[in-house]
Chains A and B, each alone.
Chain A
Amino acid sequence: MSAPEDIANNVRMEGVLVIGGGFAGLCAAIEARRRGAAVLLAESAPPALRGGHARHARNFRIAHEAPLWHTPGAYPPAEFEADLARISDGGDAVLRRVLIAESAGIAAWLEGCGVRLQAPDVGVLPFSRRTAFLLGGGKAMINALYATAERLGVGVLYDSDIVALAPAPEGGWAVEIAAGAARCRVTARAVVVASGGPGADPAWLRAHFGPNADRVLIRGGAHSNGRLMQKLIESGAGAAGDPASCHMVAVDGRGPEVDGGIVTRITAIPHGLVVDRHGGRVEIIGAAPGKAHYAQWGQRIAQCPQGEASLILDAEGVARSLPSALPPIRRPSLEALAAALEIDAAALAGAVEAFNFDAPRPIVRAPFAAFPMRAGLTFVHFGLAVDADMRLAPNLFAAGMITAPNFFTRSYLAGLGLTLSAVTGRRAGEAAARALV
């Protein structure tokens, strides 16, 4: 840590510093600015990669009693509450009710910020009565929110790393920010920490996920590394959740190490056979081939030798599958496919034969195809404990996925991440603005 005299710029602001330019940080910044606060937003990514995990998001979950132009049917709060309770061990029921109640206002708030939603009769995605879809997806929303924040006069600092955060002797919080070679110390009356959980930190993964941690691919951006969260816990902030529990899905092993997002997901597992690198069949005992199968397979593949497995399909299995970002490896015979995957041919042939014995759709028609798979980590069920104002300490607030374990502790519900970020972000921004008065 630098001594104060090394720091060229010492800025004292009578406003709110928001750390993290993802969805929650943007919501906090806009909400605080609209309430009259001076706001500075520090985003760790460069402009092209701004927006955190929300860049890869598509929809958000909302409670509603009647059809809306963007979300048909109804999703009553009680049903939302029951869904949320199923993925929560303990946790804070009051906070969950806040989340559900305020989810109903997100769509209108976003539209007021220039964000476009998609009508259910447009496009090819199945509509959902539980979630509203963003036109063009999360990055289009993030672009609109940055434009709105800048129009409102929120200052944005890109490529900024938080080096230190501590109570300032004169009140408020002193935050040391490194932006490239430049350093500055911002003393703000209130701070909102919306910098994400530890998803993309290899050191964290090695510490909590065992020997195959290095084989796990990160689905979110490289900048959502949770280091500030860890610093805050070291300096006494309350933790929430389980550091060794995470949401993982089966992803294409040829995808990028970080930032794979939605498209590297392997969706074709129900159409074929999964084998490990020794050719042994990999199964999930009692798995129902329902919607959540991705999440079960992520954990299962992480436990395979070297954290990898292959999905074997025949020509019909490929035909039944949804389009994939990377085409499968195709070979005219199972032997050639085994060679391409560097799996013992006899072992693979044995696994396929055993599979075909009772499979409703056996693997018989050439050409044969395979997707090499690894586990893809979405987020970790661990973060900071907050109260209903998203407060961590006086004038220090948290928002976004860093607060997720206050609401749920296992698995995931489609569209929950954005909903949680919007509600906690707006609440934290509002509370931070109130703290200035």
Chain B
Amino acid sequence: MPLSDPSETERILNICAACMYCDGLCPVFPALTGRDDDIAHLANLCHNCRACWYACQYAPPHPFAVNAPAALSRARRQTYADHVWPRILRHGFVQPWLGAGAMLAATLLTFVVLVVAGAPLAPGSGAFYAVIPWGWMAGLATGALVWAGLSLVVSTLRYWRAIAAGPKPVPLSAALRRALSDIVTLRHLDGGGPGCHESQPFSRRRKWFHQAMAGGVMLAFAATLVAAGFEHFFGAQPPFPLASWPVLLGLFGGAGIVVGAAGLLVGEARMDRAPSDAGESQLNVSFLIALELVALSGLALLALRDTPAMGPLLLAHLSLVVGFFVGLPASKAIHAPFRAAALLRAARNEKPKTRSPAEL
């Protein structure tokens, strides 16, 4: 059964195209005037700022019952289910709890495997590799990461092929710059200026929390790479001193994730449900909780690494990291490359033509 009813989305977007009062809020509405109105593209171009919901003269109780954010949210989840690879992962978007369940199961399984393989549950402190041998740690983490990266790349290429047809008058290099700037600034989360709506009044909170979290993920990733470099080139062994690059990057990254994800979770709790798709909210919440657990366990490990709690905490953190990456391809994480693809697609188009004058 489709997640999103294309004829209902079409009905709503027809009304939006005839109205066009929201053409200054985000690029979704101007795109409706050209022939560049493929729903799979628009669904991910929409950043769910909901400015159009509060501005809509045809929102319920009007008989037209226009709810563009909810329709586009459902269509967005449909694009995840339609293009994710391997195909079996589509169930994770049809039933969002399945994706969360997969993360949890992978976490528990990793934990059990590590314990069975001989990782001491007993308290210990000092060298990480005394708790979990290097081969196990590197093998599990790399395997999970490669799986997640491969799946996300293939899924995104499948989605890109679906939306990339049509004329592309803007050269790729210029479009890439514009798309990158749109990703970094999250410009389209501004509702045309004032900010986005968790609930009224609008604010930029969601944008700041999102970028704190996204920046945190990047710093944490950098910490891992730098740590691997230290080991490989300098033969250093973790744990590294507090004032070292891996620890500092990890500390700031972890803090960004903890604060950003917590802020986004609070936003989810306060958010107006009417312009939402319940399935998208479930994807958001389960992803944020999982990421929050990964970051908190990492920070706890850093704080308590010289105490007997280090051993169990290391086990827990590694299991959470592995579970997170195993479940990542069927999680909210997919929205990032899909939205980037939609922004690049939009950036390759020229500004839509202005309409002929009409009496108002």
| A, B: real partners | yes
Interface, chain A (partner B; CB < 8 A): 46, 48-49, 55-59, 116, 118-119, 122-128, 131, 133, 135-140, 143, 147, 256, 259, 261-263, 267, 291-292, 294-295, 322-327, 414-415
Of the residues A48, A56, A267, A326, contact of B358 by C-beta under 8 Å: A267
Quick one: CB contact mask for B54-91 with A, threshold 8 Å, 1 for yes?
Answer: 11111111111000000000000000000000000000
B111 touches A (CB below 8 Å): no
- Cβ-based interface call for B117 (8 A): no
In the complex, what residues of B have CB within 8 A of residue A116's CB?
192-194
Contact residues of A: prevailing secondary structure? loop
B14 contacts which of A56, A136, A140, A327 (Cβ < 8 Å)? Answer: A327
How far, in angstroms, from A292 to B358 measured CA to CA in the complex? 9
Given contacts A125-B354, A325-B19, 16 further A-B contacts (CB under 8 A): A46-B61, A48-B59, A58-B360, A116-B194, A119-B24, A123-B29, A124-B355, A136-B191, A137-B19, A138-B57, A139-B56, A147-B201, A262-B57, A291-B359, A294-B359, A323-B32
Residues in A with CB closer than 8 Å to B357 are 126, 128, 291
B357 → chain A closest CB, angstroms: 5
Q: What is the bound-complex CA distance between A323 and B23, given in angstroms?
A: 14
A398 to chain B, nearest CB (A): 25
- Minimum C-beta distance from B68 to chain A (A): 12
- Which 5 pairs of residues, A with B, have the shortest CB-CB distance? A137-B21, A123-B23, A136-B55, A323-B17, A140-B55
Inter-chain CA distance A133–B359, complex, in Å, is 13
Q: Evaluate contact between A125 and B20: CB separation under 8 angstroms.
A: yes
- Interface status of B254 (Cβ within 8 A of chain A): no
Docked complex Cα distance between A139 and B25 (Å) = 13
Query: Please, which residues of chain B bring their CB within 8 A of the CB of A327?
Result: 14
Does A136 lie within 8 Å of B19, measured CB to CB?
no
Bound together, the chains give a CA A4 to CA B22 distance in angstroms of 48
Give the complex CA separation of A294 and B32 in angstroms.
24
Which B residues touch A124, using CB under 8 A? 20, 23, 29-30, 33, 352-355
CB distance from A374 to the nearest CB of B (A): 16
Which A residues lie within 8 Å of B20 (CB)?
123-125
At the interface, yes or no: B15 with Cβ under 8 Å from chain A?
yes
In whole angstroms, what is the CA distance A154 to B18 when docked?
A: 36
Distance (whole angstroms) from the CB of A84 to the closest CB of chain B: 16
Measured CB to CB, the closest approach of chain B to A219, in angstroms, equals 11
- In the docked arrangement, what's the CA distance between A256 and B58, Å? 11
Chain A positions within 8 Å of B19 at CB level: 137, 261-263, 325
B271 to chain A minimum Cβ distance, whole angstroms, is 17
Chain B residues with Cβ under 8 A from A136's Cβ? Answer: 21-22, 24-25, 51-52, 54-55, 191-192
